[in-house]
Amino acid sequence: MPTNTPPLSDDTTVHTLIIDTDPGADDVIALLLAMASPERLKIQALTTVAGNVPLAKTSRNARLAREWGQRPDIPVYGGAQRPLLRTPIYAADIHGSEGITGVQVHEPAQPLAEGHAVDYLIDTLRAAPAQSVTLAMLGPQTNLALALAQAPDIVRGLRELVLMAGAHFNGGNITPTAEFNVFADPHAAEIVLGSGVPITMLPLDLTHKVLATPERIARLRGLGNQAGRIVADILDAYVRHDMQYYGLPGGPVHDATVVGYLLQPSLFGGRWVNVAIDSREGLGFGQTVVDWYGGLKKPANVRWIAEGDAQGFFDLMTQRISRLF
């Protein structure tokens, strides 16, 4: 049944954090925001997955974000090259052929860590104290689904999952019903939603209300540091498509809201509900079916975030990005 049970964390929680990501313009901004908050987010590793662009580029881009964030202490592990079952899809039309809009890319000096991301997740979560690790998921959930299939016992080490995924009231962005991260691997999403780990989802219902307007982007550029310029350059190019397509006054920075939630959950509002994934071929493929009023009388498995303080989020992000170089 829907409940308003409070979030698992609060504005002071220090997270032992792994970020699973498919950079991706908004992923890069999320990663910079996370790297700018070391006192609250103890980033253990980045794990990459194919999504916005193929794995080689998402992995290169995660290493680039690490370089821009000047955090060589954070290992990057490459993960799944393709979804569990469906044919791979990408979003280079939105994120550019290199996977990051608005900036020049290069091959970062620091390489990937040895080993596959799925093995890293299994080994790390098995060794972790019970319910100690927060996993933020910014792309298709393929890596965690593979890890859960191989080692179901790893749920013990997880505190909570915080996902940018799904859409209900807003409608989809890759089809009228589906959001990209779920559409790109709905079978993985089914496994993750069935894991029993507490899950918070930040769907398009939320991200389309927290918009990077020209004024908010100008404020980031006005910080005068490299990170502010990089974020502003990425956003200037990234938001254009969504502003035009949806007729919005600004563009969503989807993945960055996940990090904003980890840092200041009091900025967001949601409800524990039952969420299921439609993985049948057809118009509903990849849809997150959200029982907002509890009519199905099924147990709630997701805290579905539908509201957020947009100005509060951008104030937070701007202040944190100002800390970077």
CB of 316 within 8 A of CB of 260? Answer: yes
Which of 170, 155, 174, 237 has the alpha carbon at shortest distance from 210?
Answer: 170
- Cα 246 from Cα 216, distance rounded (Å): 19
* Minimum distance, C-beta of residue 286 to Ca ion, in the bound complex (Å): 15
Which residues in 151-170 contact ligand RIB (CB under 6 A)? 164
Whichever of 232 and 259 has its CB closer to Ca ion, that residue is 259
> Which listed option, Ca ion, ligand RIB, none, makes contact with residue 173 (CB within 5 to 8 Å by class)?
ligand RIB
* DSSP character at residue 39: T
Which residues in 224-263 contact ligand RIB (CB under 6 A)? 254-255
Which residues in 7-26 contact ligand RIB (CB under 6 A)? 22, 24, 26
Query: Would you give the binding string for Ca ion spanning residues 196-235, x where CB under 5 A is met?
Result: ----------------------------------------
- The CA angle 54-57-63, to the nearest 5 degrees, is 140
Number of residues near ligand RIB (by CB under 6 A): 16
Which residues in 125-154 contact ligand RIB (CB under 6 A)? 138-139
Whichever of 164 and 300 has its CB closer to ligand RIB, that residue is 164
* Minimum distance, C-beta of residue 52 to ligand RIB, in the bound complex (Å): 5
Which of 300, 191, 323, 207 has the alpha carbon at shortest distance from 259?
Answer: 207
Write out the H or E segment, with its range, that includes residue 62: helix 55-68
Which of 140, 145, 142, 261 has the alpha carbon at shortest distance from 207?
Answer: 261
From 35-43, 102-110, 175-183, 273-281, span contacting ligand RIB (CB under 6 A)? 175-183
- Is residue 89 exposed (0-12), middle (13-18) or buried (19+ Cβ within 10 Å)? middle
Whichever of 138 and 220 has its CB closer to ligand RIB, that residue is 138
Residue 208 known to be catalytic: no
Which residues in 39-58 contact ligand RIB (CB under 6 A)? 51-52
CA distances from 105 to 2, 30, 62, 122, 234 (A): 45, 17, 11, 31, 11
Q: Which of 180, 272, 285, 304 is in the footprint of ligand RIB by CB under 6 A?
A: 180
* Minimum distance, C-beta of residue 166 to ligand RIB, in the bound complex (Å): 9
Local structure of 202: helix, strand or coil: strand
> Which listed option, ligand RIB, Ca ion, none, makes contact with residue 180 (CB within 5 to 8 Å by class)?
ligand RIB
Please give the positions annotated as active site: 254
